[in-house]
Structure 1
Amino acid sequence: MSHEVVRRVTELGDRLAAHAAETEQLGRLSDQSVALVREAGVMRMLQPTEFGGYAAHPRDFAEAVMAVSRYCGSTGWVCGVGGVHPWEMALMDRKLQDEVWGEDPDIWIASPYAAQGIATPVEGGYRLRGHWNFSSGTDHCDWIFLGALVAGPDGAPAQPPKVLHVVLPRADYTIVEDSWDVIGLCGTGSKDVLVEDAFIPEYRTIDAGEVAEGESAAARAGRTDTVYRLPFWAMFPLGITAAVIGIAEGAMAAHLDYQRERVTAMHTRIKDDPYVLYAISEAAAEIAASRTQLLDGISRLYDQIEAGEAVSFADRSMVRRNQTRCAWRAVTAVDEIFARSGGNAARRTGVLQRFWRDAHVGLQHAIHTPGSIYHSSALTAMGVEVPEGPLRALI
C-alpha cells in the first residue's frame, strides 16, 4: 500500500511541475514548491514520531522522493538530501533535537557532510572553521550538518583522521551567494557555506564513524526503531539515488507525452517507428529495474536488522554497489530516449531537456562514483581479502 505522503505528493504533482521552471530560474526552490513539500510531509518521513514525524520505512521515504522528482528534479533532490537529515538528527543528543524542533517541527536542516572544515578541541567542545560546497536547499534551512576533521595539537588534522558531523544554527555560518551556477539541478540552490570561527558545543557533534555503523549510534541515542539502526552509507545514498531515478521516471513520462503524436521530418509517425518504440520499452524497463533494485537493497538491510541480524561490511558493500549501478542504469536509459527525441527536444520550452540535464548532474554526486565501490565490492564478494583504508570509504 502506498504511504500517505506518496499519495499526497501524487495529488500535488501537477502543482509541483507548474513551479519547476520558476525553481530553476531562481536557483533555489520557489516558495510555492517549499510550501507543497511541507504540505505533503516529505521532510517528515524519517523524523521521529515525538516531533511529529513518521519514522517511516526507508523504502517509503525513497518512494516519496521519487514521486517529487518525477515532477521537479530540483525539488526532489532537495527532498532526497534534506529528508535524510531528520534521520541523523534522531541520533543526536536529545537537547539538540529539542533546540532544533522544540518550537517548530517543520524546521529543515541542510548539510554537506564532506570533511571540508577543521574542528579544534577546546573546553566544552570545538572551534570550527572551513568552507564547504554543495549545501542543497540551504536557503530554506535553519540548521546545518557539516563534516569536519578534528585537529591535532599542531592545528593540522589529527592522525589517524577523525571525522565529526557537527550541527550549527543559521546564525553561525554564512551562505555564499552566487556560488551555484550549474547546468542541471539548478533549482537545488546547492550553495557554498562558510564558517570563520564558530564554537560547537560537544552535544552538537557526533562521530561520523559511529553513524556509519548504525547500531551503536542508535543505542547511544536510545533509538530502538529499526530505521534508526541502519548504517549512514545506506541511508544517505538512498535519498540521492531515489531522486535520480525519479528524475528518470519524469523524463520517461515527458518523452512519452512528446512522442505520442510526433511526426518526424520524414513524415514518419513515431508510433509507427519500430526502432523508437523498441528504445522506449528498453529504457522504461531499465528505469523500472533501477527503482526495484534500489528499494530491494534498503529493504534487505532493514529486514536484517528487524530480524536481529547484524549488517556486515559485505552486506553494506553489496547494497552500495547496486545503488550506484541503479543511478547509472537509469541515466543511461534517459540518454537513450533523449537521443531519439529529435532536435526540438533540446528547446528550453520543453521539459525533457531539464530532466536530462538534472539526471546528469545528479550522477555527478560522489556517492555515484563507481570506481572504489565496485573495486571493494568485487574483492568482498570473492572473499580474497578484506578491503581496508580508502576501499572502505563511503560504504
Structure 2
Amino acid sequence: MGQAENKVNVFTCTSQLRRSRTNMVQDKEQYVFLYNILLETLLCGVTSVAVEDIQVHIHRMGELDPVTKISGYMKEFQELEKLRGLYHIGSCKEGEKPENLAKNRYCSILPGDGCRPILISVSNKQGLPGYINAVFINSNLLNDAFVVTQLPLKQTLGDFWSLVWDYKCTSVVLMHDPPDMSEMTAQFWPEKGEARYGGFIVKKISKVLATGHKEITLCVRPCNEPVDSSLKVKLYQLTIWPKNQSVPLNPSAFIGLIGKLEQHQQQMEGSHVLVTCCDGASRSGLLCAGAIVCDQIRSDGCLDVSQAVRSLKKRRVQLIPNPVRMALPRQGITSGETALASRTPVMLWVFLTFLCSPRQEQYAFCYTLAQSYLDSFETYGNFTH
C-alpha cells in the first residue's frame, strides 16, 4: 500500500485486524513499533537476503552503479542516514550530572537513561545507585544480551567491576591489542595473583593464547564477600586489531571468537557479554553486529546487515561509524576481479578496502564476517538453520 499509493493508514489497517482478532496489536508500544518498522522498510527497502544468495549478493554489493558511481555498500549507508532522526536514545540526564561528568571519557558519547545499566553494588554520595557510561544492546534473539562500555578510567575502575558483578558479565571482550592498552586505560586486572579495584577483588587464574585473542580467566568478588562467592569471568582480549587499522586483520579469527563467546554464554544462564573499547563505541559495535549477523544466518536463514546496524544505533548512535564518502576503486579493477575477490573472506576484504573509505569499512566488514561464517562450514550444503 505504501509504495503503490504513496501513503499508509496504520489506524485503519490495525482496526480491521482487531475486528478479526482482538488480541492483535495489544498496547501502545506495539502500535508505535508498527510505525517505526513501516518507516524503516519504506526508507531502506528490503535489505534481507537468503542464505543461499549471500555470496552472489556480496558480489553485487561490491559493484559500482554505472549512473551514481557508488557501490551497494554506500547505497545501504545512505539509506541508513535517512533514519538518523529515529535514533533518539532519549535523555542522558544521569551522564550530564556534574558529579558524573568525570566518569565519561567523552561527553559526546553518553548513555541514554532508558537503556543504561544502573550499578547496584556501588552508590553515589546521596546513597543512590551508581552511574557508569554503558548501554544495553539487544542481540538477534535476546533483549539486553550485550553491555557496551568505555574502557575504565582511573577513577572508574571499581565501577567497571561493579558492572561485571551486578549484571553477571561472565564474558568480557576487550577490543584493543595489548600494546595499545597502556595509552588508553589503567590496568584493570592483575598480571598475577590478585588486586583490589574500588570495592572489588580480582584474581587472575590463568591465561591462554588462542588464534586472534588472549583468553584470561579471572575471579571477581566484592571485598566483603567470601572467596567461594566469586564470579568466574572469561576476559577475551583481541590481538588482531592494531590501533592503525579500522577493522580486525583476520575475519576468520574474529568469527572464531564470536563462536567461543556464544558457547560460553550458553553455559551461563542469565549472564551478559560485556564489550569494551576506548570510547565504548568506535570498536564495540563490530563485535555486537558480527554476533547478530551470525545468528541471523543460523536462526533465521537470512542476512540483514542493515537491520543489525539499525538495532545497534537505536541504543548508541555512534556504534558502526557513519559514512563520509565513497572512495572510487583503482582504475582497471574489473568485474572479474570482483568475482575473484568474493571467493574467500581475506581476498574479499582486501578488495573491499579499495571500495570503502576508512569509516565505512566496519559496515562492509560485516558482510565479510557473514561470508567467513558460512565458509566455516565445510560446504554450503552442510549448513542448516
Which bracket does the TM-score occupy, shorter chain normalised? under 0.3
Output the TM-score relative to the length of structure 2. 0.24
Output the TM-score relative to the length of structure 1. 0.23
